[in-house]
Amino acid sequence: MSSLSNKRIILGVTGGIAAYKSAEIIRRLQDQGAEVRVVMTPAAGEFIRPLTMQALSGHQVHSSLLDTEAEAGMGHIELARWADLLLIAPASADFIANMVHGRADNLLSTVYLATSAVVAVAPAMNQAMWAHPASIDNIQTLKQRGVTIIGPDSGILACGDIGPGRMEQPQAIIDQVSGLFNNSLLAGKKVVITAGPTREALDPVRYISNHSSGKMGYALAEAALAAGAAVTLISGPVNLDAPERCSLVKVTSAQEMLEASLQAAANADIFIAAAAVADYRAAVVADQKIKKQGDEMTLLLEKNPDIVSTVAAANDRLFVLGFAAETQDIEAYARDKLARKKLSAIVANDVSRSDVGFNSDHNEVSWIDADSSKVFSKRNKTQLARDIIEHLVSRHSL
């Protein structure tokens, strides 16, 4: 099976003579089993007609940010959520600069900002523009944000110059794009992932919880699906759309998450405990709303079950990856949890930082197992999730 089989790909086309090659890219993506939708900038329509791209892709071409008819169907946010990959080919120097600065003045740049999909760009520009310090800085910034840069090629350019800047040939682009997905890493494996916070009721309107957004767990579910696994996602209350190809189990409390985890993990190969589970719950949950009773109130709390260690103890053939959200002595606390809870490996991060962790789209973590450790520097959670899955497979030959 091709690594692009059943993948949903948005092909973004920007203004430039290389836009004529985008028509061939559509065909080659489809030959690999991908479903393709096309988004064009206004300038791209001056080089290749939208009707051509529509005929090849079999779908309406999207080009206007303020298209009421399009928004009534698959609007730009839905389009961004639909994709597994956003491939921008050709990507002009102007559009690359807009990506770096977060401009959203056309549909394609808006889709880029709104998507959590893998993003790849194939630059196409004059060799002097490619060599300019501004372009060099822009490309480096995109790489740091997890964007894959494909090319450019060297040779005779449309303007007659010779040098780097020519868009890579369609087949070379397809080959690199295919490498972004590996459907065989976890083929045939069953993966269970917990995500988000738990809520522990105090009364009918109040609860104990934490700031977890669930973004890391949901990104891991996407990455495991992309690697070919059958995924069960056990989620606490979050404001996220689950990957439609996973089995979603919604829970609220730690006890509910434990029961769902034990059931799902019984026949699983991998258990990833990315949820931020409340450590304690109310010893007694009030039937009615608790009224104010003076300046102070005492709550009696009792310890919640430890989900990850319970699951690990129940199935000794299961690979169990825990998460440690810490604010100090990160590695020391993580190694203690690794040994005490008898985990296969643990991922630790510093949640005291405002630029990563809870509610952020980025994270910086350390992978720790019995005989190794690896730091994953700050990157978006989508890229980090793919890196964690790849490292898990490479380290433990699953």
The residue annotated as part of the active site, out of 55, 159, 205, 299, is 159
Q: Ramachandran region of residue 30, left (φ > 0), alpha (ψ -120 to 50) or beta?
A: alpha
- The residue with tokens 């040994």 is 339
Q: Characterise 353 by phi-psi region: left (phi > 0), alpha (psi -120 to 50), beta (else).
A: beta
How far, in Å, CA of 391 to CA of 300, rounded? 42
Nearest to residue 214, comparing CAs of 196, 232, 240? 196
Instruction: Using alpha carbons, select from 393, 364, 368, 395 the residue that is nearest to residue 381.
Output: 364
Given a contact cutoff of 8 angstroms between Cβ atoms, the answer to whether 146 and 379 are in contact is yes
Residue 246 is a catalytic residue: no
* CA distance linking residue 63 with residue 70, whole number of Å: 10
- Taking the C-alpha atoms of residue 392 and residue 398, their distance in angstroms, rounded to an integer, is 8
Which residue numbers are catalytic? 159
